[in-house]
Amino acid sequence: MYRHETFVQCDDNAGAIRRGLIMSATAAEYDSLTVAVAYATAQGCRMLTEDFQESIPNWNQLEKRWLISFDFGITDPGALNQLSELPNSEVRVPNALRVIQQRLRPSVRFHPKLYLFEGVGQSLFSGSANLTPSGLVRNQEQGVFQAWTPPFSRGNTRSLRSLTEQKRLIDIEYEKSELLTDDLLERYTVARNRYRQRTPYVPDDPNFERQIADPLQGLALSKAALLATSPSFWVEVGNVVQNLGANRPGNQIDLQRGSRVFFGFDARTVARNTSLGEVSIRFNNEVTQCHMRFGNNSMDKLTLPIPNHPGPRTYENTTLKFDRDADGIFDLTVGNAQRKRVWRQQSQLVNGLYQMVGGREFGVF
């Protein structure tokens, strides 16, 4: 059987490249993975490996081969070290010594972006994105997913022969390339510190990386990236404390730590009970300036429009959806059972359905 799908990543379709890669990783059972990308950052590698570890049951046993360039000093040395330390993993660098000798300016650039899975079936994902957080979820990129799984028709066999020929060329390039060793990585790091400033190209948006990257935030990096780029966020609320006084419905809800990035705040570690800032929330065409902080219970706490005026009657045991508007205001919707089912399905389609430790679900789409 042959499957094919095209992914276009843009403002209205954030995370498309990530979804295509997860589709490739789960299309069949695999024994090996070969990745060839021009440039990689440590955070991009972390995002990818978190997703693959979650998606591929035999991730640790999978043979992993990485081809990543030193060209222009763009690739982060930490990314190469991170990939080399994965189980059953080997990193090679095309034209490594020559590029170092030429002050990181290659005669011929290494510029592919492909992921080849092989096993019971085979899948190939190729496109325009480098291995960076923005490339995986945020930049305007495109990619194509192809998978071949048994039983194979005659037409499948013909296209598989073409893939086999292309794989032969990849294997030749892999064998020609320099194995990453501690010594080679050190030589690259020294050359990069010396010559990197001559190349103004930045592989990822540093502001975006700062917004999503914090190992203590309680969310995987790829999930934080989706929160930062998705237009809609919903959450099951559960119980609400009576923070406005006895016999009055409360307006302060607890969210998964790291949910703040959806509302425009970065994920840096802060002390408990630290104010994060103001969030403009619109309900029934009335805008309320609400407050967000990191609570004493290590959750992100968001105040909402006061119940009954201007907010809904109660937030207790509801499901709420926030839509990020172009004017910087977040439109609030109180969902019923039918709406919640739809939101949940939409999150599942983009691999954006999550669960808190206590069991409450939340998601993005």
CB-count burial class (<10 Å; 0-12, 13-18, 19+) for 284: exposed
357: its two tokens = 């430790």
> What is the reported pLDDT for 276?
96
Q: What is the pTM of this model?
A: 0.85
SS (H, E, C) the chain: CEEEEEEEECHHHCCHHHHHHHHHHCCCCEEEEEEEECCECHHHHHHHHHHHHHHCCCCCCCEEEEEECCHHHCCCHHHHHHHHCCCCEEEEECCHHHHHHCCCCCCCCCCCEEEEEEECCEEEEEECCCECHHHHHCCCEEEEEEEECCCCCHHHHHHHHHHHHHHHHHHHHHHHCEECCHHHHHHHHHHHHHHHHHCCCCCCCHHHHHHHCCCCCCCCHHHHHHHHHCCEEEEECCCCCCCCCCCCCCCEEEECCCHHHHHCCCCCCCCCCEEEEEEEEEECCEEEEEEEEECCCCCEEEECCCCCCCCCCCCCCCEEEEEECCCCCEEEEEECHHHHHHHHHHHHHCCCEEECCCCCEEEEC
Q: Cβ atoms within 10 A of the Cβ of 353, count?
A: 18
Q: Where are the domains of the chain?
A: 2-204, 212-364
pLDDT score at 70: 97
Same topology, domains 2-204 and 212-364? Answer is: no
With a cut of 50, which residues of the chain have pLDDT below it? none
Task: Give the torsion through C-alpha atoms of 271, 274, 279, 284, to 10 deg.
Answer: 110
State residue 338's pLDDT score: 96
Q: Quick one: pLDDT at residue 179?
A: 98
* CATH superfamily of the 212-364 domain: DNA-binding pseudobarrel domain (2.40.330.10)
Q: Write the CATH number of the domain with boundaries 2-204.
A: 3.30.870.10
Backbone angles phi, psi at 18, to 5 degrees: -60, -45
pLDDT at 123: 96
* pLDDT the model gives residue 215: 55
| Predicted pLDDT at 260 | 95
pLDDT at 252: 96
Q: Cβ distance 201 to 109 under 8 Å?
A: no
Asked if 258 and 219 count as a contact pair (C-beta separation under 8 A), the reply is yes
